Structure 1
Amino acid sequence: MLEERETIGKRVRRARLRLGMPQADLAAAVGRTQGWVSKVEKGDIELDRTGIINQLAAALHCHPNDLMERPYVAGKASENQWQVSAASILRELRRYDLTPVFDGQPRSVAELWADTERLHRLRDAAANVAIMKILPDMLRESRALAEVSTGRDREEAYAIYAVECKFAHTAAHVLGHPELIAMACERAAWSARMSGDPVMEAVGDWMRVWDMWATADWDDSLSLSDKALRTIEEQFDAGDPLAVRAWGTVHLRAAVAAARAGRPMEAEDRIGHARTAANLVDAGREPVFDRHSLTFSSGNVQIHAISVHLEMGDHAKALVLNERADPSRIAALPGSRRGHHHMDLARAWLWDGNRDKALKELELAEKIAPQLVRNHPIGRATLRKIVYAERSATREKLRRMSDRFHLDG
């Protein structure tokens, strides 16, 4: 861990020197002091906020993954096999407009939609490697169905393809594969247009918002969020349940972007819009099949409100909101969301000076979503801060005791 901690600082320094950029210029670009940049490069400051990492990467004209050592290479070869699956997915996405190579007759639209529920379950369990393994065949079959179908069935086949691209996009983000992130987003937008589903098109823009964060383009990500909202405004006003879910989901992502842009009032306003949408979802008479795989709920609004305040550096408010949150609604969230939530709480308690509670939350996050948390740069940064704080405290206790015992240094 010491080696890794030094590495992220060295990577910032290496990227800066590659550009011939003085520390003072980098500091000015990210709104910090030269001393802060110096401490980051020496490893004295742990980067545990995604927004700051993205700002540094944008200022250094590199991808955030270049600073965070992603994708991570595991010690066991078996844990790196997901990259083989990623290459297969890329191959399918590259040949999107060619005749699909598929033996036999593709299954019906209804059967393929049912098959996407397996992806939902794996996503909820944060089993991203498993998602990678099954996606190549699913993409191939849905594309083959679109090729041989007409009318509404053809549109639905493209909708299925778009959702599969969304799962590839999410898994690629978690595992750290920038090429797959970009291509999955492009293909999702293409197939969403072919699907004739305006909500699916809004979901494509929602994916692009996430990608814009990598280059700290907060203003553009907010503009794109508003474009997505305009796409589904008519359906939202009419009370379409799928549009209501998408409306709330887009506002949640926009709230995070606003927080990172330093717009606290807008972030709160976006959370308020999402809360309104969640109330409409809760008031729905019958559950709706989540064909866009958004899993939007009032529990999601609660944990995003906490996360937004952490992004703004207000850990005290985040902890207060957590106290007020409804535990049953958070417990009903998928494992991937709950893993993120407890990882956020670990940061909040650490910033509050309570390492014991921070470690407890991080352990819970790992238990709920081990693959997600172990690979997540914020989870890793939080653990490093706990480890080094413990070591520093122990060293200080030993120094004081040595002084009392009059031991020579």
Structure 2
Amino acid sequence: MEESAERIGARVRYWRERRKLPRRQFADMVGRSVSWLDKIESGERELARLPVIERVADALSIDPAVLTDNNRDQRTRQCVDASEVLAIRAALATYPGLSPDAHVTIDLARLTRQASYLDHAWAMSRFTVVARNLPSLMADAYVATQAASDAGLVATRRILVTANRLASSMLLKFESNDLAWLAADRAMHTAMGIDDTWSLARATRSVARAMTSIHQHPQAIVTLVAMADRMRGEVRANPAELLALQGMLYLAASITAAGQEDRALADGMHEAAIDAAQRFEPHHDDHHTCFGVANTLIHRVSALVRLHECGQALEFAKTISPWAVATLSVERQSNYLLDLTKAHISVGNYRQAARMLGKAEQTAPEEVRCRPLAHGLLRSLLNTTTGEPARLVRQMAGRAGVEA
């Protein structure tokens, strides 16, 4: 019983800290003393009565079973949950510039490090890290832009664009598409307020992806191509900073056109991206977009899957060097593996589909165990695989909490 109390207490502490709730505040929320909470979290006192467990779970915005069942706890803590999505929503609905403390000084160096850290966490598919820290970055970045001098305006706006882009990308991963559109639109308005092509190109890609998620494919393509054309002269003058961003716009346009089943446009945008990648390749390792030939090639596979040319996508994938794919970010690698999973399912090669999905889980567990898209692939494979692949799929589904 004492060991059980320690485990439950450790879970209470984990979720309290994940929700960023100070001990006094949380104790007040459950109507208990700080001393009582300390004893619960240390395992000195048992959290045994169901009404108290439910009260504690409610304050933590989790199901009571998360506190009492180890498997449920492990599945829940590895994923972004509804409470964290609501925190991002709340951050989007907050306007710090209107509050009395809007002129609080923000340490720009610290803010820059935080934005870089979350960008890196995103690239590593560490979505729970991003979700826990993103609302504070969004709030601080907004305040920083309000207080910035002319000299610091571009730097602070870039951070705010980054924060809103991360919010949009996160929400798209978990299919909160209307909120993703709002976050991307915020990024776009922020970028349009300054003369900075870097910010505008990055915001354009986000807003186009959000448009696509709400089925505005034609407008997304127009927006992407217009921005790529607009920045053409500046790219020639400053390729080291801007060529990769232009190339990513072409890639996004290719994927969007493929989603519309416009093969000619998808092919044309892919060729434009390849041309940019071949010119940019020497700088590949210096740029956080991961833009380069390898990224362009795996985007081609994704486009072919969207064009329902899954056999062709798999043949094309054979021409891509595994070593080159391994140089990309974890987020890019795992999404490539999800595309291959979809392609194999489409052609009826369920054994290989299970293998690709298993490799995706090894590469980026949160991509498979937490995303609705991957859950759909798991359900499909649960109903189609047999033998050893079926056992692998059942194990993955169990870790993801997915049933057929």
TM-score, normalised on structure 2? Answer: 0.71
**Structure 1 Cα separation of the partners of residues 176 and 232 of structure 2:** 33
TM-superposition CA deviations, 1:41-69 (whole Å, max 9, x none): xxxxxxxxxxxxxxxxxxxxxxxxxxxxx
**Aligned with residue 331 of structure 1, among 326, 329, 333:** 326
| Equivalent in the alignment of 1:207 | 206
Q: Which amino acid aligns with 1:141?
A: D
382 and 313 in structure 1: CA distance in 2 versus 1, 3 angstrom threshold? same
**Structure 1 Cα separation of the partners of residues 355 and 285 of structure 2:** 35
The yes-or-no answer on 1:107 pairing with 2:107 is: yes
| Equivalent in the alignment of 1:389 | 384
Q: CA deviation at 1:213?
A: 1.7
CA contact (8 A) 1:90 1:183 kept: no
Q: Which moved more, 1:80-89 or 1:138-147?
A: 80-89
133 and 383 in structure 1: CA distance in 2 versus 1, 3 angstrom threshold? same
**Aligned with residue 355 of structure 2, among 354, 360, 375:** 360
Q: Which amino acid aligns with 2:172?
A: H
| Equivalent in the alignment of 2:368 | 373
Percentage identity across paired residues of the two chains: 17
| Equivalent in the alignment of 2:146 | 147
**Structure 1 Cα separation of the partners of residues 241 and 346 of structure 2:** 38
Q: Which amino acid aligns with 1:310?
A: V
**Structure 2 Cα separation of the partners of residues 142 and 300 of structure 1:** 30
288 and 88 in structure 1: CA distance in 2 versus 1, 3 angstrom threshold? same
The yes-or-no answer on 1:350 pairing with 2:349 is: no
| Equivalent in the alignment of 1:175 | 174
Q: CA deviation at 1:390?
A: 3.2
| Equivalent in the alignment of 2:235 | 236
The yes-or-no answer on 1:86 pairing with 2:85 is: yes
| Equivalent in the alignment of 1:160 | 159
Q: How many residues align?
A: 316
| Equivalent in the alignment of 1:319 | 314
CA contact (8 A) 1:102 1:140 kept: no
80 and 360 in structure 1: CA distance in 2 versus 1, 3 angstrom threshold? closer
**Structure 2 Cα separation of the partners of residues 310 and 206 of structure 1:** 21
**Structure 1 Cα separation of the partners of residues 251 and 201 of structure 2:** 14
319 and 289 in structure 1: CA distance in 2 versus 1, 3 angstrom threshold? closer
For structure 2, list consecutive stretches of 5 or more residues without a partner in the other structure. Answer: 1-62, 67-71, 388-404
- Residues 10-409 of structure 1: matches in 2 within 5 Å? 78=77, 82-96=81-95, 98-99=97-98, 101=101, 105-108=105-108, 110-284=109-283, 288=286, 290=288, 294-390=289-385
SS of the residue corresponding to residue 317 of structure 2 reads helix
Q: Which moved more, 1:79-88 or 1:160-169?
A: 79-88
SS of the residue corresponding to residue 230 of structure 1 reads helix
81 and 385 in structure 1: CA distance in 2 versus 1, 3 angstrom threshold? closer
CA contact (8 A) 2:228 2:249 kept: yes
- Structural RMSD (CA): 2.6
TM-score, normalised on structure 1? Answer: 0.71
Q: CA deviation at 1:306?
A: 0.7
TM-superposition CA deviations, 1:284-325 (whole Å, max 9, x none): 4x95454xxx33222211111111111111112111111110
Q: CA deviation at 1:148?
A: 2.3
Greater relative contact order (Cα < 8 A, sep 6+): 1
TM-superposition CA deviations, 1:87-121 (whole Å, max 9, x none): 3333333333624647963113x442232221122
Q: Which amino acid aligns with 2:277?
A: A
376 and 87 in structure 1: CA distance in 2 versus 1, 3 angstrom threshold? closer
Q: Which amino acid aligns with 2:170?
A: A
Q: CA deviation at 1:348?
A: 1.8
Q: Which amino acid aligns with 1:225?
A: L
**Structure 2 Cα separation of the partners of residues 241 and 273 of structure 1:** 17
142 and 330 in structure 1: CA distance in 2 versus 1, 3 angstrom threshold? same
Q: Which amino acid aligns with 2:278?
A: N
**Structure 2 Cα separation of the partners of residues 161 and 245 of structure 1:** 20
**Structure 2 Cα separation of the partners of residues 324 and 391 of structure 1:** 29
289 and 323 in structure 1: CA distance in 2 versus 1, 3 angstrom threshold? closer
